[in-house]
Structure 1
Amino acid sequence: MNERQIIFSPSSLLTIVTAVASIVLLWQLRGLLVLLMVAIVMASSIAPIVDWAERRRIPRWLSALVVYLLAILGLVGVFFLIGPTVLEQLQRLFRQLPIVSEKLVSLLDERLSPEDAAQLTDLVRQTLNFQALTRWTFQTSQELLLRSYSITRGIVGAVLSLILALFLSGYMVADSRTLVRRLVRLLPDPWDRRLYGQMGNVGNRMGTYIRGRLLVSIVLAIATSLGLRGLGLAEFSLGLGAIAGVTNLIPFLGPILGAIPALVVAIAQGGWTVLWVLLFYVVLQNLETYVLDPLLVGTAVGIHPLYQLLAVLGGVQVLGILGALIVPPWFAGVSVLVDNLYLKPKLKAERLAKSELSQAKTADAVGIDRP
């Protein structure tokens, strides 16, 4: 019986050892890699403004600094303007969960048979139990935040990481051309030139996505607050609008999560309020899908919605809340490279091969017909 011998050459062994060492090194540096991913997304979002300022002979570093300072000042101003009211309404909403639960129970007792009402009332009491809901919220938030902030040590580390990401993104924007040019030099020709030529498209798609997502969330937060105020939920309108704006940063899942608190409050009020609130969120969802997203986000993602949803779910699974925010724009950027460096050349080569085959068949047919 012949025995097969597997022989590794020194070069093969060196390649295997290098690959294993690289994987171990990347795993140890995963926190830094996530930080770089965040910084690149932030840099892509402000790059068009910096480019516009550069054309007017304003230094890139100065325009990046001004943009970030204005963004920080705007966030601080909004927080001091409506932040206390939003927090007060959210606290009031949580405090009223037992009252909401009892109102739902009484409503079920009035509308359903005793057997069905007994089962549903137990479910409502368990679902809207303040202590259980608070405990579940903290446990779930802790798990997601631990995944999101695995690169840090607590809240202070997260804040420091955010500041570091701001500095990194500012440096990337200020000297982006030099950084990209030196990075692609590591690749062999002609891939260095091809990749360098696509960096602008990648950054543009990532930046367009994140800017459009932010604008859509702001518009929906304002529309939700105004709409719920008009529907009789003025007591919680700002808080529910803030929830809708934050959750809409997450594609697909965000609108559903943002509608649940408003529907719970509307059900507790009874009457036709719940129907009007439900219709309002349905109209709002369609407005986002068919008007706001095409207008503000456009074709920034450029991939099938199912793949976008998988990107969101994968990001949540690996990086928590942070992954749901940064993985979709990265997925959009990578799709540019796949389209322009693989799919389009592949389709072009296939069309060229078919054309050459057709010409060859035509030439053969002409040659056969001739005497």
Structure 2
Amino acid sequence: MTNKLWFQTGIGILLAMLIIFMFQQIHDVFNPLIIIAKTIFLPLLIGGVLFYLTRPLLHFLEAKKLPRWASITFVLVVVAAVFWLIYAMIAPVIGEQAGSLAKNTPQMIDEGEKWVDYLLSHRDDLPPQAQESVESAITNVSNNLNDWTVGFGSWLLTFLQNFFQALFLLILAPFFLVYMLKDHEKFAPFVAGFFNGERRTWIRKTLHDLDVTLRSYIQGQLLVSFLVGVMLLIGYLIIDLNYALLLALFGMMTNVIPFLGPYLAVVPAMFIALLQEPQMALYVAIIMLVAQQIESNFISPNVMGKALDVHPLTVITVILAAGNIAGIWGVILAIPFYGVVKTILSNLYQKRTEIREAAGKEID
């Protein structure tokens, strides 16, 4: 019975749960390590993303017989130039649109209040159930308005604190990038050096597969998000939507979140469109629909291919679970983390199958 897969799997799950339970009992011992991990998480993440984006350029330069240090220096110059160019081109427009949005916010709130007043003045024309829903919503808003105001102020203060803290930590990102570009070939041999024989070969193959999975996802997802942002910008400019660049950039950033991103991106665009001109909301919905259809049917299949090969239902389940566990970072990192776990399990299953086949041939 001990050789059965279900028995070994059950024992493995029980041991994992026991280890997690023991960690929870002595979690105070690991608090310093947790603080260190939280401190380096963001710069390490950004450095890793930049590493996968710039590594092809590094390999191209080295193929042209450029030394490693000169290639890394050139890569850093290119990265800095790209960020500066993006800032120089986009920052003035974003600043202007953000200032205009802040200036017009009171007017937009007044327009929203007019819609609410209109709804209230005609609520007697609504069905009884709709009337009850409207009155219940008004009561909830009135009762919770002060709490929401205090909560928003607290959230804003926390956001600003985290923002400036993250801005400070971003200084560490280039250092992580430099060392990743310099020593990335040494990682797999270093880890595999703790093993011998076939295990060393399996470790190196698994690490290579993990590298391919992360590279395909990061490079593909960022390129897809950029193309979606461009399509949204073109569409918003065609219909002359206010704050087009700001909304397109928001759509590009939210598209990093699989499945949920498009729905998050369309909310502020629909709100702006409704206040600008009600029928424009329909145009925004059409633009978002067309952009997502092009992305899902043409761009992603050609850019991403089958890098992760995850079923849409699995994507939804993983994102919702990760969001409840780790918040926004869980939502963003859920799919690549799932891809990493899937790659490891696939290699474990393949290795186990090879062992069982080899054992069967010896018996024969």
Looking at structure 2, the residues matched to 310 and 59 of structure 1 have their Cα atoms a distance apart, in angstroms, of 46
Instruction: State the secondary structure of the residue aligned to 2:310.
Output: coil
Correspondence for 1:88 among 96, 109, 112: 96
Looking at structure 1, the residues matched to 63 and 26 of structure 2 have their Cα atoms a distance apart, in angstroms, of 41
Looking at structure 2, the residues matched to 62 and 23 of structure 1 have their Cα atoms a distance apart, in angstroms, of 45
Correspondence for 1:280 among 287, 293, 301: 287
Looking at structure 2, the residues matched to 273 and 133 of structure 1 have their Cα atoms a distance apart, in angstroms, of 30
Per-residue CA shift, 1:311-332, capped at 9, x if unaligned?
Answer: 4445545554444444433432
Partner residue in 1 for 2:296:
289
Instruction: State the secondary structure of the residue aligned to 1:249.
Output: coil
Q: How does 1:1-371 map to 2 (within 5 A)?
A: 28-33=32-37, 35=40, 38=45, 39-94=47-102, 95=105, 96-105=107-116, 108=119, 114-115=125-126, 116=130, 120=134, 123=137, 126=141, 154-233=162-241, 235-313=242-320, 315-317=322-324, 319-339=326-346, 341-346=347-352
Cα 1:56–1:200 shift into 2, 3 Å: farther
The alpha carbon displacement at 1:268 in A equals 2.7
Mean Cα deviation higher: 114-123 or 252-261: 114-123
Looking at structure 2, the residues matched to 184 and 202 of structure 1 have their Cα atoms a distance apart, in angstroms, of 14
Number of equivalent positions: 330
Percentage of pairs with the same residue: 22
For structure 2, the residue ranges without an aligned partner over 5 or more in a row are 1-18
Mean Cα deviation higher: 81-90 or 250-259: 81-90
Mean Cα deviation higher: 245-254 or 156-165: 156-165
Per-residue CA shift, 1:88-138, capped at 9, x if unaligned?
Answer: 3234335143134035336647987544579659859959x9998886666
Mean Cα deviation higher: 276-285 or 306-315: 306-315
The alpha carbon displacement at 1:306 in A equals 3.6
Root-mean-square deviation over aligned CA pairs: 4.0
TM-score, normalised to structure 1's length?
A: 0.72
Higher helix share: 2
Looking at structure 2, the residues matched to 194 and 284 of structure 1 have their Cα atoms a distance apart, in angstroms, of 42
Mean Cα deviation higher: 70-79 or 212-221: 70-79
TM-score, normalised to structure 2's length?
A: 0.73
Looking at structure 2, the residues matched to 261 and 178 of structure 1 have their Cα atoms a distance apart, in angstroms, of 46
CA contact (8 A) 2:221 2:256 kept: yes
Mean Cα deviation higher: 196-205 or 206-215: 196-205
Looking at structure 1, the residues matched to 266 and 248 of structure 2 have their Cα atoms a distance apart, in angstroms, of 10
For structure 1, the residue ranges without an aligned partner over 5 or more in a row are 1-15, 147-152, 361-371
Cα 1:112–1:223 shift into 2, 3 Å: farther
Cα 1:276–1:120 shift into 2, 3 Å: farther
CA contact (8 A) 2:52 2:219 kept: no
The alpha carbon displacement at 1:58 in A equals 2.3
Looking at structure 2, the residues matched to 158 and 221 of structure 1 have their Cα atoms a distance apart, in angstroms, of 24
AA of the residue aligned to 2:88: F
Looking at structure 2, the residues matched to 100 and 251 of structure 1 have their Cα atoms a distance apart, in angstroms, of 33
